[in-house]
Structure 1
């Protein structure tokens, strides 16, 4: 019966294609899909979508409040990011109502920003905390799967079915002097590069309808290339700040040789292992991790948090980096 139901939704070719992608994706057998997609037939309704987001957000929020012993009423800034699910009342309003946050809380809903939204939200929180002194900022990140599973046959849109899974993160940032010694981490730098001014970047992950009117996210083959270009720009900006002098000199010498003296040589990739002890590369898929590992000359040990997150939880979009950071803490 299950096979018959699936065949009524997908063609045999589409099922085979998704099976192949799953086998090569790096995902394990314990990732989570929402309840609506486990029913026969699937029931991607608004009610189930709300149930999914409340399940992941409320659990993440409860864990955070318990671990930090912070009262919800003391949170002054709330930032929620969910790229494709933006209901009314807003997700911020649901959190405020559930946990009775104060009426003057600064709340922001970020949408349409994909897997990078979690760090974009942290960057926004950082800038807000520079203005609002002695404040707490809460960042909640997720991506809703229930209403965004694709039930057509266009291959570029089927890929997302195979990679994305349920997940969420809750991060609390503070600029209160009393929290300095109890905080786990100190935020030093944030760097962001936007590639929407380039058509390849603009189209690399695009929500659209197929020829039969079925909505999904089309992932372009240019996605790894665009991501690599953005990463290169980010690392160049960050390198000026964090790299040791020797690495900077080697990079500058290589740049001058290639661009001024027109010498035939490969561009020099600085060794960021000399600046960082840990790397959390977004668990977007095995191919992306392979490309980044090769480009940055990272060891298997340094990629372990990313690969284990992908295997255990799948691509949880904007929250995945926090899964990786949690793995790094437990591992080391």
Structure 2
């Protein structure tokens, strides 16, 4: 038995190296073909005599019009290129909000609190306890202050206080770390799905920091857990138009007014998963900022499946039979997320995958379509395109599904699992806590590529691709600063 197992392992190892060799051969094929061509050019150039060079110079002197026209064409073409080319967008720095320890919600305390509320029946309490035990959340996740009261006080004022605490906490850290003044910021994009008061959250930030009057501000609501990528995309588009500018993206979610107090099991799930959190990101299109920036934005790919009714309704805020408001999660959620992921990577793949993977994918696709070969569809190896993966920490099932479908290793989903354990599902900001985890672990090296991928209601799957511009160190007041030495932790099955 051991001999057969070792033989099987050896075959897998050999196939791995064969594929790796194929990948390097195809990737560097053009360079290998250029070597003999360059050798021929060098040999031919070495045979040119001084007389040949002199004759060429005389020919140009007698064709002055040709030289002038060619020079003008090159000059105009260069000017048009530099005026119309896309401007690089740099991520200067970002900050994640770290809730105070007094807001921590241990599992036992959570269940005791739910019992004392008196709004959940026995079946719901058993369900909550079961889900919480399997959720992947640790004992240090935090809930807003209003939810620690008995009875809870989910008022508009308490919701404002929670949002201000999170947004201003992240922004204060960001401004301190970057030495950028609020009045220097020309673009502001804020996203929060379930809490959209008047004045808006973006106006609350402008008022707090006394930002300039001509700032381009946006407030995105109802766009789900992938809204941070959408906000980055919007900020990127604005930075293509407005030269020499800073853009700030603030991503958060409000728990205070969105806790469910009924007994519909589909609506109870968010109570177990969602916790307080938020992030503020500083983007720049200034070439002088490249040297001090952490990352460069390479791609943003957005996929919307809202035309499909099942996808549209799988995450829905609504009232239950007795009028209690909550967010309902469909049983088809994972299937719909899988289909959205396939659509997203179909667009993203050609942009990031090496040609070797694209050839394999194309060959299997053609074989199945044209000759009915019944070959299992080839899943591209995204580990050849990215060194790091920031998968939205929406829940244990989401991370498990992507790990399986993308054939990732445990180390690739470590940041997502540990973020879920330490902070819970912080909605759209979770991908930034994950990026901070990798930096705190010292894993982010110059040239590394990062894939941020998140899912949102509607239903959406959005991706952002970043390139590390240096060996990235964690910023001051990182959310992992006082606890990174304890991670990764062993999770119960």
TM-score, normalized by length of structure 1?
0.98
CA drift of 1:207 comes to 0.4
Pairwise mapping of residues 1-332 of structure 1 onto structure 2 (< 5 A)? 2=113, 5-6=116-117, 8-331=118-441, 332=443
Once residues 369 and 253 of structure 2 are traced to their aligned partners in structure 1, the CA distance between those partners, rounded to angstroms, is: 43
Deviation at 1:4, TM superposition (A): 5.3
- Post-superposition Cα deviations, 1:47-80, rounded to whole Å, max 9, x if no partner, equal 1101100111011000100111100000000000
Equivalent residue pairs, number: 331
Aligned-partner Cα distance in 1 for 2:336–2:178: 38
Displacement of 1:237 in angstroms is: 1.1
Cα distance, 1:77–1:315 mapped onto 2, change above 3 Å = same
Deviations 1:25-64 (A, max 9, x none): 1010100100111111111111110110011101100010
Answer whether contact 2:114 2:120 (CA < 8 A) is retained.
no
The one-character-per-residue Cα deviations of 1:139-163 (angstroms, maximum 9, x if unpaired) are 0000100000000000000001111
Q: Distance in 1 between matches of 2:355 and 2:160?
A: 51
CA 1:249–1:29: 2 relative to 1, 3 Å = same
SS at 1:189 equivalent? strand
Instruction: Give unpaired runs (5+ residues) of structure 2.
Output: 1-111, 444-493
Q: 1:164-199, CA deviations, whole angstroms, 9 ceiling, x for partnerless residues? A: 100000001100121111111000100000011111
**Cα deviations across residues 79-127 of structure 1 (Å, max 9, x unaligned)?**
0000010011110111000001000000000000010101100000011
Q: Give how far 1:2 is off.
A: 5.0
Shift of the 4–326 alpha-carbon distance from structure 1 to 2, 3 Å rule, reads: closer
Structure having the higher Rg: 2
Q: CA deviation at 1:245?
A: 1.4
Measured in 1, the distance between the counterparts of 2:424 and 2:212 equals 35
> What displacement does 1:218 show?
0.2
Q: Following TM superposition, by how much is the alpha carbon of 1:5 offset from its aligned partner in structure 2, in angstroms?
A: 2.2
Structure with the higher strand share, 1 or 2: 2
**Aligned partners of 1:128, 1:43: CA distance in 2, in Å?**
39
- The alpha carbon displacement at 1:263 in A equals 1.6
Distance 1:241 1:20 in 2: 42
CA distance in 2, matches of 1:276, 1:4: 46
Aligned-partner Cα distance in 1 for 2:159–2:186: 27
Quote the Cα distance in structure 1 between the aligned partners of 2:336 and 2:263. Answer: 25
User: Which consecutive unaligned segments of at least 5 residues does structure 1 have?
Assistant: none
> What is the TM-score of this pair, normalised by structure 2?
0.66
